[in-house]
Amino acid sequence: MKVLVGIKRVIDYNVRVQINREGTDVIKEGVKMSINPFDEIAVEAALRMKEAGQATEVVVVSIGPGAAQQQLRTALAMGADRATLLETDDEVQPLAAARALMNLVEKEQPGLVLLGKQAIDDDANQVGQMMAALWDKPQATFVSGLELDGGRIRAVREVDAGLETVEITLPAVVTVDLRLNEPRFVKMPDIMKAKRKPLETIAFSELGIEMPPRLESLGCEPPPSRSGGVKVDSVDALVATLKDKGVL
């Protein structure tokens, strides 16, 4: 079985994000970029399937600028077999990303598509669900436990009420949550080996996906500064204060 894993290039989660002067976007120049943490967990899940003999090949794909090759090389260093970059400098919104990935799915014919549940830059949480709908295949989202048994997957999902276990047939789309696994540490010899692994670049414009933006960003602003705390003398005063603030 071939596993296709989608990854996204995002600002590293350890970086303190800054807003540009115009208030139109965050500053990305000179900032450390990494694989989206949820997507890195998806890569690790695919690699563990291959090591267990449940998958024959792991292919990683990303949509973004040429610089995203760095993140693809990192995934190759983790152990992925091949990589594909759908190259574009333009913003690619969720539905366009889902259609672009579907283009690759039709080419690669994977038995399983793994994605992070969301990207930490926009928190959209839409691409996996849209892909499953376009592909007309089963899906399991927010997965924190994953077990592959022949042509079926048993997935543990994190939902508002607790944990939910579902069973779906392959081929399918699975989006993973943080508690599924801990991605492996990439060693220097693996980084050197990754330079010799195949990385194909395809111009996004060649896919024939022409879609007007469905989302408009009106601006960016930092969160408001936290105000100082207030001391109260009694429980009654605490309850009254909370009522005044609309908490109770």
Please state the separation of Cα 114 from the chain's center in Å. Answer: 9
Write the burial class of residue 29 (CB in 10 Å: 0-12 exposed, 13-18 middle, 19+ buried). exposed
What gap in Å lies between CA 226 and CA 209, rounded to an integer? 44
Token pair of 233, please?
Answer: 């003398």
Say yes or no to pLDDT of 116 above 90.
yes
What's the one-letter identity of residue 163?
L
**Amino acid 212: pLDDT:** 78
User: Which percentage of the chain shows pLDDT scores above 90?
Assistant: 71
Q: Which CATH superfamily is domain 2-244 in?
A: HUPs (3.40.50.620)
| Cα–Cα dist 55/45, whole Å | 11
Domain ranges of the chain: 2-244
pTM of the complete model beyond 0.75: yes
Contacts of 71 (CB under 8 A, 6+ apart): 7, 9, 33, 34, 35, 62
pLDDT of residue 81: 96
DSSP state of 19: B
CA proximity to 100, closest of 69, 47, 64, 74? 64
The pLDDT confidence band at residue 209, using thresholds 50, 70 and 90, is confident
User: Cα–Cα–Cα angle for 19, 21, 23, nearest 5°?
Assistant: 60
Quick one: CA dihedral 198, 52, 186, 170, positive or negative?
positive
**CB distance 134 to 83 below 8 Å:** no
